[in-house]
Amino acid sequence: MKNLKRVLCALLALVMVLGFVGCKNNGDDKTTPAPNNTNKPAESEVPATAVPTTELPTGDYNAMSAAIYDAQLGAFNTLYQAAKEETNVSKRYALMAQAEAKLLEAAVLIPGTTNGGNYGLSRVAKRSASTVLWGNDSDRFHNVLVTTELITAEDQTHLKAMWNEVRGTGTYTQKAIDYLTEKGYTLKNTYNMGYASDPKTWDALATSRSADSEAIVNTYDGLVEYDNENEIKPALAESWEVSEDGLTYTFHIRQGAKWVDAQGREVADVKADDFVAGMQHMLDAGGGLEYLVENIIVNALEYNTGDVTDFAEVGVKATDDNTVVYTLCQPTSYFITMLGYNVFAPMSRTYFESKGGVFGKDDYKTAVDAGTMKYGQTVNDIAYCGPYTVTNHTAENTIVFEANPTYWNKDNITIKTLTWKFNDGKDPTKAYEDTKAGTLDGCGLSSASLEACKADGNFEKYCTVSDTDATSFVLFLNLNRNAYANFNDETKAVSTMTDDQKKRTDVAMLNVHFRRAIGMGLDIATYNGQVVGEELKLNSVRNSYTPGNFVALEEDVTVEINGESKTFAKGTYYGEIMQAQIDADGVKIKVWDAENQTSDGFAGWHNPANAYEELQQAITELKEFGVEISKDNPIVMDLPYYSGADIYSNRAQTLKQSVEEALQGCVVVNLVSCADAQEWYYAGYYTESGKDANYTLYDVSGWGPDYGDPATYLDTMLGDGAGYMAKCLGLF
């Protein structure tokens, strides 16, 4: 397969040339070099009109994807593979930072924004839910503190300061209760919040979508859980030990925990085997996150590839009813941080089988294809061992979580009823009005609702700026577009591009300078301001994929940057190393603010002059492939957008205007209207394969970390279908 890929890379340029010889103004048959997208010399030169001696399988989508990946992301992948082999944690971080620098330089994705950084008002006490940056625990709400009245900005600020003072002592919740009570607030045991997308499945182990996991995580407990002081605490595991060599993790399961159905009827005891069953089902289902445990847990990779078919050989075993043991491939410093993610969720083996569930990859696929596998299809088709059961799920309306009467920790939850209310975003002030009325217990403010809040006199008294987090929303560029309408409905989000425009855009998207021109041309601050308002438009702007302060070196590290040794001191942040590599490569983007020690809060990519300079380089290179670019003959790019919501319409218009102006009319962004959020999501967010990605540029998706290591981001950009987000690039 590797040899085939090398052939494909050499011939990829020829395929593009053969499709465009008619566009050239001159009629010669001069030899044309391979595209200069990777800054590497061509392996060979080929006549522009020649027939290749080895036929490129243009109909083979995966082969094409592999060729494009190697050409466009080869530099990233080479460095990243070296980083993954490194056993010294700090050296690993440094090499990963260098690899990410190459990823960003390739401009296959344009960093955009993160969660938070906007004004909001709430009845929920600051920091009463976990704010851990990775995993699913920040979406657990059983211990939040909610009052009947909106909490003032002054009191929220005091609570946040209190949290900083007592973090790690286990006393914040009680201190916050005491403070709120003294201030005259009344605590309640219900929490009403908004949501924008229904779960597509209730199977925690068969999904990688946040819209699914954010709901499901409230229905089960894991082995451990981050509390609201962001400390790891026992959950279904009462205790655990790690072997001296770091390869064996042994967890002791608490006795007396129960599985119940949606009606609260007991169906089984929670046992160690539930974690074995959960892991096997996760690997069998192939929901998109199985790569997380490959090369982490012994034989997980081999089970996925089929080299191992007996799951008993995989490194997760129940040695008795109350003991589960994980065996790792190598010491993994961040393994314990992975346990808060749904890939490690337990599952009742007997209940799963009662719903038609089977084990083994082939048997599972057969059951799904036959329609006999019902597990996870509705809230009535899962077992619950967490704080809540779901008593009502009405699509695009309401989801109600009621306290589980058999929950092992039922006496210590603060919220007895959690209600989610649907909001499609069409009315930009609805969430604010619902919060004022008490229908919701809090909301962030859009640019429109911010003005309403100020007019009502509520801004000064109640509004605070929300914390940002580690979720990175980016704009993806499609390098291998095959779809020009939505895969689920060919009448939706239909492109108006002509065949000639499609071909020209396909070639342009494989030029790194063209892609950089798009990224540098986008006025990300004004774009973000359409959602959060002008005052805070920079707060949540992010300039990298992995947040620059996500990790720091634990010791001094020396690495090679373009042939020269460079030593970074202990405590150096990941982002500083990224920036050092980017600067050495001469790429004009800023991803790290050294003064403020962050990759957020500034527009480090946007520069119209640099954008136009990159475009001119692209124009020169693409001309050699028969693609002439000018104001009269621009490259056309499709951007699907949600036309039913003003804030997203305005955001799309800002993107279009800023890119077209920066590139002086040589690029046209074609706004493809999506009447509702579902149509917008089906253009890209709901796709299972890059082949179905219906866009040139897409701004819906992002990635939140699963554990506390940069690999949680960078693994998503692996090739050969291993990287979950590579599909957003139109690959695999």
Asked if 599 contacts 544 with a C-beta cutoff of 8 angstroms, the reply is: yes
Specify the pLDDT at position 17: 27
Task: Identify the CA nearest to 215 among candidates 406, 423, 390, 391.
Answer: 390
- Return the pLDDT at 486: 99
515: left (phi over 0), alpha (psi -120 to 50) or beta: alpha
Tens digits of residue pLDDT in 651-679: 999 999 999 999 999 999 999 999 999 99
SS3 403: strand
Distance of alpha carbon 416 from alpha carbon 192, whole angstroms? 11
The reported pLDDT for the residue numbered 308 is 98
Q: How confident is the model at residue 462 (pLDDT cuts 50, 70, 90)?
A: very high
Task: Tell whether the model's pLDDT for residue 295 goes beyond 80.
Answer: yes
Q: Residue 36: which pLDDT band, with cuts at 50, 70 and 90?
A: very low
Average pLDDT for 518-544:
97
pLDDT tens digit sequence for 622-652: 999 999 999 999 999 999 999 999 999 999 9
Q: Which of 620, 599, 659, 702 is nearest to 589 (CA)?
A: 599
- Distance from C-alpha of 515 to C-alpha of 475, rounded to nearest angstrom: 11
Tens of pLDDT along 227-286?
999 999 999 999 999 999 999 999 999 999 999 999 999 999 999 999 999 999 999 999
Q: For residue 190, which of 236, 224, 141, 229 has the smallest C-alpha distance?
A: 141
Top pLDDT among 178 and 446 is at 178
pLDDT digits (tens, 9 = 90+) for 685-694: 999 999 999 9
CA dist., res. 493 & res. 673, Å (int): 6
How high is the pLDDT of residue 42? 27
Q: Residue 359 — φ and ψ, nearest 5°?
A: -110, 155
107: closest CA among 621, 704, 652, 611? 611
Contact 519, 578 (CB under 8 A): no
**For residues 597-625, average pLDDT:** 98
Distance of CA 676 to the CA centre of its chain: 22
Tell me, what's the pLDDT at 148?
A: 99
pLDDT in the model for residue 59: 62
Tens of pLDDT, residue by residue over 209-226, are 999 999 999 999 999 999
Q: At what angle do helices 447-456 and 430-437 cross, to 10 degrees?
A: 40
Six-digit token pair at 599?
């990759």
Closest CA to 214 of 198, 233, 227: 198
Residue-wise DSSP of 228-241: TTS-EEESSEEEEE
Spatial separation of the C-alpha atoms in residues 681 and 368, rounded to whole Å: 24
Lowest-confidence pick of 43-57, 127-141, 603-617: 43-57
Q: Which is nearest to 339 in space by CA: 255, 244, 251?
A: 251
How many Å apart are CA 106 and CA 102, to the nearest integer? 6
What angle in degrees, to the nearest 10, is found between the helix axes of 2-18 and 61-85?
A: 130
What letter would DSSP give residue 136?
S
Q: Which residues contact 475 (CB under 8 A, 6 or more apart)?
A: 109, 110, 112, 519, 522, 697, 698, 699
Angle at 15 between CA 14 and CA 21, to 5 degrees: 80
What is the distance between the alpha carbons of residues 260 and 272, in angstroms, rounded to a whole number? Answer: 17
End-to-end CA distance of the chain: 15
Alpha carbon of 731 to those of 73, 367, 488, 688, 713: distances in Å?
11, 28, 19, 11, 17
Contact 601, 609 (CB under 8 A): no
Place of tokens 């600067």: 583
* pLDDT tens sequence across 312-332: 999 999 999 999 999 999 999
Q: What is the pLDDT of residue 12?
A: 33
Q: Is the pLDDT of residue 504 over 60?
A: yes
At position 524, the amino acid (one-letter code) is I
Please determine, for residue 29, whether its predicted confidence score (pLDDT) is greater than 60.
Answer: no
| Tokens 């129960």 -> residue | 258
The tokens for 78 are 């080479």
pLDDT given for residue 79 in this prediction: 98
The sheet that has 442-444: what strands, in order across it? 442-444, 119-122, 464-465
Strand partners, 394: 398
Q: What are phi and psi of 236, to 5 degrees?
A: -75, -20
Looking at every residue in the chain, the average pLDDT score rounds to 92
Q: How far is CA 206 from CA 195, 375, 720, in A?
A: 21, 10, 20
Q: Among 174, 146, 173, 178, which residue's Cα sits nearest to residue 227?
A: 173
Residues 6 or more apart in contact with residue 181 via CB below 8 angstroms: 187
The model's pTM: 0.82
Sequence-distant (≥ 6) Cβ neighbours of residue 611 within 8 angstroms: 516, 517, 518, 519, 520, 521, 662, 663
Per residue in 352-393, pLDDT (tens digit) is 999 999 999 999 999 999 999 999 999 999 999 999 999 999
Query: For 181-204, how does the pLDDT look when each residue is reduced to its tens digit (9 = 90+)?
Result: 999 999 999 999 999 999 999 999
Strands 417-422 and 190-195 turn out to be parallel
Please return the burial class of 33, using the count of CB atoms within 10 Å of its CB with bins 0-12, 13-18 and 19+. Answer: middle
How much of the chain exceeds pLDDT 70, in percent?
Answer: 92
441 torsion bin: left (phi>0), alpha (psi -120 to 50), beta (else): alpha
At 468, list the tokens: 């940002």
The whole-number pLDDT of residue 447 equals 86
Q: Using one digit for the tens of pLDDT, what is the confidence trace for 113-157?
A: 999 999 999 999 999 999 999 999 999 999 999 999 999 999 999
Cα distances from 437 to residues 431, 578, 589, in angstroms, run 10, 47, 45
Radius of gyration (Cα) for the chain, nearest Å?
Answer: 26
Is the Cα torsion angle 105, 107, 109, 112 positive or negative in sign? positive
Residue 34's SS3 state is coil
